[in-house]
Amino acid sequence: MASKPEKTLETFPNPFIDRDYHIHMEIPEFTCLCPKTGQPDFATLVLDYVPDKKCIELKSLKLYIWSYRDEGVFHEAVTNKILDDLVAVLKPRYLRIIARFYVRGGIFTNVIVDHRKKGWQPEPMVLLQEFNTQSNIRG
């Protein structure tokens, strides 16, 4: 059976609900239409989130993203709409979307939106020293 665009987002239970962990996705084939000209707009979406009770199911996310292909929508509106839809189904601890739209008329547009669950604070980042094998070779 062939897939088709779909606005339904499916989830599955977070397998590690007691742990904060970061899920990072890059979606390099996002397409929508310019609401003024009808010309296609192309973007890479970067999705980062810390799940709470649910995680996003990837095929449903793919079909959801595909559903914007024939929609006329401004970059700012579509980025915020995607964030709102994901927050509504996931209720994550944290979620950020970076929409990197390709050049149009000599202008790159990046739209960054995020959501933080009320009261949630991330653990402090642990910075580890990078191990450089070249500087550690003795000879």
- Percent above pLDDT 70 for the chain: 91
Whether pLDDT at 125 is above 90: no
Task: Give me the residues paired with residue 104 across strands.
Answer: 107
Q: Are 55 and 17 within 8 A, CB to CB?
A: no
- Let me know the angle formed at the C-alpha of 34 by 79 and 91, rounded to the nearest 5 degrees: 15
Domains annotated for the chain, with CATH where assigned, are 11-136 (3.30.1130.10)
Active site includes 34? Answer: yes
Active-site hit among 20, 34, 48, 52: 34
pLDDT confidence band for 134 (50 / 70 / 90)? low
Which pLDDT tens digit goes with each residue over 61-110? 999 999 999 999 999 999 999 999 999 999 999 999 999 999 887 889 99
pTM: 0.86
Active site includes 41? Answer: yes
